[in-house]
C-alpha cells in the first residue's frame, strides 16, 4: 500500500505543477477514467484530457489529502482544485473524491466524483445555478467537454 500512496502523491504533485506527463506516467496504458463532466474515457482519451486541462489552466492551485487505502488494490483521496474557468472567467473551487484501482505499480482505474450542479453554478454562473441540476443541461455540458477533448486530440 505504500507504493499506492507514493503513486497518489506523485500524481497530485504533478497535477499541482500542471505536469500532465508526470500525471500520465502514473497511469497504465489501458487506463479507465470517469468523471461527471467528461464521462468515461479510456487510454489516450484520459491522458489527453489531463494534457488539455493542464495546458488551459488559469490561476490554478490544488490541495489533496485524506488518502485512505481500502485494501491492496483500492484507495481514495480528496482533492480541491481552484481555478478560473476559461470559457466564462469565473472562479471555481471544485471539491472532488477520487477513487483509484492499482495493479503492477500503476493506476488502472480512476474515477472522480463531484457535484456537476455545484460545478456548473460556479463555472457558468446564474444559468449553471438555475439549470445545473437538469439532465438536459448536464448533457450539454458533457457533450461540450467531449467535443473540446476530441478537437484537442486532433490538434495534438
Give tens-digit pLDDT for 6-43.
999 999 999 999 999 999 999 999 999 999 999 999 99
Task: Report which DSSP code applies to 95.
Answer: E
The three cell numbers locating residue 123: 463555472
User: CB-based burial of residue 28 (10 Å sphere; 0-12 exposed, 13-18 middle, 19+ buried)?
Assistant: middle
**96-145 pLDDT, tens per residue?**
999 999 999 999 999 999 999 999 999 988 788 887 787 878 888 888 99
Q: pTM for the complete prediction?
A: 0.92
> How many Cα atoms are found within 13 Å in the side-chain-facing hemisphere of 95?
4
pLDDT at residue 5, rounded to an integer: 94
Cα separation, 125 vs 63, whole angstroms = 24
Residues 156, 85, 7, 45, CA torsion sign: negative
Amino acid at each position: 500500500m505504500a507504493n499506492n500512496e507514493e503513486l497518489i502523491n506523485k500524481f497530485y504533485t504533478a497535477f499541482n505543477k500542471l505536469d500532465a506527463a508526470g500525471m500520465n506516467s502514473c497511469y497504465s496504458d489501458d487506463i479507465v477514467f470517469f468523471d461527471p463532466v467528461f464521462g468515461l474515457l479510456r487510454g489516450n482519451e484520459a491522458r489527453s484530457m489531463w494534457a488539455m486541462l493542464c495546458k488551459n489552466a488559469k490561476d490554478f492551485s490544488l490541495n489533496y489529502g485524506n488518502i485512505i487505502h481500502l485494501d491492496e488494490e483500492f484507495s481514495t483521496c480528496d482533492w480541491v482544485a481552484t481555478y478560473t474557468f476559461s470559457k466564462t472567467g469565473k472562479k471555481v473551487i471544485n471539491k472532488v473524491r477520487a477513487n483509484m484501482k492499482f495493479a503492477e505499480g500503476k493506476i488502472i482505474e480512476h474515477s472522480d466524483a463531484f457535484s456537476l450542479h455545484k460545478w456548473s453554478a460556479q463555472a457558468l454562473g446564474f444559468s449553471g445555478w438555475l439549470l445545473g441540476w437538469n439532465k438536459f443541461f448536464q448533457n450539454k455540458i458533457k457533450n461540450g467537454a467531449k467535443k473540446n477533448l476530441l478537437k484537442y486530440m486532433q490538434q495534438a
